[in-house]
Structure 1
Amino acid sequence: MVWTSIAFIIAFFFAMNIGASGTAASMGSAYGADAIKSKRLAMVLVALAAFLGAVLGGGEVVKTIGEGIIPSNLLSIKLVVLILAGATLTLFIANILGIPLSTSEVTVGSIVGAGIAFKSLYLNNLLVIVLFWVLVPIVSFLITFLLGKIISRAEKRWVTLTKNGKWKKWLAVLLVIGGCLEAFSAGMNNVANAVGPLVGAGMISTTKGIWIGGIFVSIGAILLGGRVLETNGKKITRLSLLEGSAVSFTGGTLVIVASLFGLPIPLTQVTTCGILGVGASQKGFGIWQKSVIQRILKVWLISPLASLVISYILINLLVEINIYNIIIIVSTLIATVGALSLSATIRKENSTIHDDGGGI
């Protein structure tokens, strides 16, 4: 009974963090383009749209998370707790840092960690998921890059389409609708990350899990989503109303299509790559040099591996007790951190020698 209660508490806390991370980023384009100036109103609209998306179309991704990566008969209550704990911890740290992290990546990473611990993994399904993690953001970037070029020319030719033109009000409405569509797609795709393991273990029905998960995602968006909204909307690149619409409708449509096929997609990556596509069409590919972009890319790479390692360690400590595996993992982490620190020290020393005009 205690483990069951812990599983539900962690799952719903995770759902709140999903609302704060992936779902909150949905309104980034509208907020960044000043189509909606109130951060609180933006979060309320996101919450409502995400809840509707979860209730109306979240079932297929729940099946994938619950039984498509590892066999559902492995999902004991204790294992569900550890899988959710690994994913939640990774996502919570990212939210504190204000990084728009992919909830799909940390969830799948945590489930894979469990599969590796028990030597049971649907590898073909996992490879398909990872392939679409790469392809969908690239498609988003390419589409918005082309749309950005078209929009730039249109805005130069017809000034009424710009922020100060006579169509400003309707363009702002269009962009807010696009943000709501994107949040709807987030509800379809991301709520499964929190409730999928519960459903796979038979702890809750799909319908009830989606409804309750959707409520907690909405609460998380309202209470915790402000910093991620700020990062996506203001710190990557500023968008015009039409450019923001291009990002939102592109990302939302791609994720909705993926959700219908049961694919857990990193919505935040899709959205951010859409913003980057528009930015690249304006300023060239030098936008990739921005520190915030580099920071996000690094977290994207690390997040599934971090949640994989955390869940694997927890399982080896609490379920499949294997102290030798823990020693190897800890040693590898220490060696990696040490190597990175040594590399940074060497670069600093070389830079100092170069600046002083000296040598050995």
Structure 2
Amino acid sequence: MMIYLAFIIAFFFAMNIGASGAAASLGVSYGSGAIKNRRLALFICAIGVFLGAVLGGGEVVKTIGSGIVPKNVLTVEIVIIILASATLSLFIANVIGIPLSTSEVTVGSVVGVGIAYQSVYVQKLLVIVSFWIIVPIVAFLTAFIIGVLMKKFNRKKGEKRSKWKPFLTFLVIATGFFEAFSAGMNNVANAIGPLVGAGLIDASNGILYGAFFVALGAFFLGEKVIETNGKRITNFSLGEGVVISGTGASLVTIASVFGLPVPLTQVTTSSIIAIGAAKEGFYIWQQKVIVQMLKVWIVSPVFSLVISYGLVKLLLESDVYSLVVLISGCIATVGILSLMKTARNKKPSFSKEEKATS
């Protein structure tokens, strides 16, 4: 029964991975107008994700399955806790339409379990986390430099009346498909890796099933997220879309070859923000959707870590005291943030009263 539950959660997680990855891949093609039909964009994404997972997802599966914590830690119960923690974080993000990195929430869940058992490969973890920071920065700088050059030579205007527009349309769709392919390579491991690490399924069959459910999620659940990445951050042309998708796909594919789970959504969104900054200036950072995404990116790995750690302590070790400490810490954090917000809100009204008395 527990094994069946592990597979059900893993496949549900895979569907949410597809929903989140949709924005990170074909969102650019949709936002630039290369693909005007949102459902068609999601269908192309589903095909790309499936092929990427089947043809190149093996190395990252090894990392998630045995590269962060020892294999002997991954029992059926632990696998369920890891997948449930990551799924909850990702599902919340998908509901509110925020493109979230499945790699971050999965690694956070695995690390939470490792901390509970004091068994984490710290050196490997530091390498992974460092690439979470480095790769989006590289994506941002690359896209920003190219965006500035495109603005300087006024390529956007030339593109509209150019005979090359059909070719650019094809190219942005092709790079979007390539990005979906890279998403499959990197992200299917997040759902299947724990199952493979625990010996519940072999890698080849696990990748095949995982790829199928990731593709289903991309097609049926990706509408809100593709709208966020494609329409709500900034407008971009066909040429800029090629830059964004090509940058993200190349970086994530390279990382996948070396077995590194990296945040595709952060990479793509960083490129989109860079293009917006190159065209409109850095005040684009003031947009609420960008601030909201940054907060979710930071909180989500910690959130999934805390959930998995707490579930291990409560369900497997019956350690209620550790759970009380975690809940108390969460309550204290929320309380402090609420007090800070209240203090900020009081300042303007105080200033007005002070002006009135003077």
* TM-score, normalization by structure 1: 0.97
Code of the residue aligned with 1:179 in structure 2: it is: G
Question: Do the aligned residues in 1 keep the contact of 2:23 with 2:229 (CA within 8 Å)?
Answer: no
In the alignment, the residues of structure 1 paired with residue 161 and residue 231 of structure 2 have an alpha-carbon distance, to the nearest angstrom, of 19
Does the CA contact (< 8 Å) of 1:16 and 1:217 recur in 2? yes
Contact 2:23 2:265 in 1 (8 A): no
Deviation at 1:34, TM superposition (A): 0.4
- Structure 2: which 5+ residue stretches go unaligned? none
Contact 1:55 1:211 in 2 (8 A): yes
Aligned mate of 1:197, from 186, 194, 199: 194
Corresponding residue number in structure 2 for 1:206: 203
Structure 1 distance, partners of 2:353, 2:218, is 52
Query: Are 1:144 and 1:246, in contact at CA under 8 Å, matched by a contact in 2?
Result: yes
Query: Which structure 1 residue ranges, 5 or more long, are not aligned?
Result: none
Q: Which whole-Å CA distance do the structure 1 matches of 2:160 and 2:5 have between them?
A: 49
Deviations 1:103-139 (A, max 9, x none): 0000000000000011110000000000000000000
Please state if 1:186 is matched with 2:176: no
The residue type equivalent to 1:272 in the other structure is T
Q: 1:342 aligns with which of 336, 339, 356?
A: 339
Measure the CA separation in 1 of the matches of 2:9 and 2:160.
43
Question: Match of 1:35?
Answer: 34
1:23 and 1:187 in contact (8 A); partners too:
no
How far 1:351 sits from its partner (Å)?
Answer: 1.8
**1:265 maps to 2:262:** yes
Which residue number in structure 1 is paired with residue 312 of structure 2? 315
CA distance in 2, matches of 1:255, 1:83: 24
Is contact 1:15–1:216 with CA below 8 Å preserved after alignment? yes
Q: Which deviates further from its counterpart, 314-323 or 328-337?
A: 314-323
Q: Name the residue aligned to 2:353.
A: 356
Other structure's SS at 2:329 match: helix
Instruction: State the Cα deviation string for residues 153-194 of structure 1 (Å, max 9, x = none).
Output: 3444x844x234322211111000010010000000000000
Residue number in structure 2 paired with 1:140: 139
Do 1:117 and 1:320's aligned partners in 2 also have CA atoms closer than 8 Å?
Answer: no
Whole-angstrom distance in 1 between the partners of 2:2 and 2:167:
51
Distance 2:18 2:157 in 1: 37
Aligned amino acid, residue 80 of structure 1: V
Partners of 2:235 and 2:323 lie apart in 1 by 46
More divergent stretch after superposition (340-349 vs 252-261) = 340-349
Which one-letter code corresponds to 1:36 in the other structure? Answer: I
Name the CA distance, whole Å, in 2 between partners of 1:166 and 1:348.
55
| Aligned AA (1:148) | G
1:29 touches 1:248 (CA, 8 Å); kept in 2? yes
Residue 53 of structure 2 aligns to a residue in which SS?
helix
Hey, what does 2:244 align to over in structure 1? 247
Partner of residue 279, structure 1: 276
Counterpart Cα distance in 2 of 1:202 and 1:266: 26
Quick one: structure 1 residues 27 and 163, their matched pair in 2 at CA, closer, same or farther if it must change by over 3 Å? Answer: farther
Distance 1:55 1:250 in 2: 22
Partner of 2:160, secondary structure, is: coil
Q: Aligned to 2:222, which of 211, 221, 225?
A: 225
Aligned match of 1:49: 48
Q: Could you tell me whether the CA contact under 8 Å between 2:58 and 2:207 is conserved in 1?
A: yes
Structure 1: how far apart are the matches of 2:295 and 2:319? 30
Please report the RMSD computed on the Cα atoms of aligned residues, expressed in angstroms: 1.2
> 2:108 matched to which residue of 1?
109
Write out aligned runs for 1:74-113 (5 A).
74-113=73-112
Q: CA deviation at 1:286?
A: 1.4
| 1:269-325 deviation per Cα after TM superposition (whole angstroms, max 9, x unaligned) | 000001111111111211111111100000000010000011111111111221111
Instruction: Give the letter aligned to residue 75 of structure 2.
Output: S
The whole-number CA distance in structure 1 between the counterparts of 2:22 and 2:28 is: 13
State the alpha-carbon separation in 1 of the partners of residues 209 and 261 from structure 2. Answer: 19
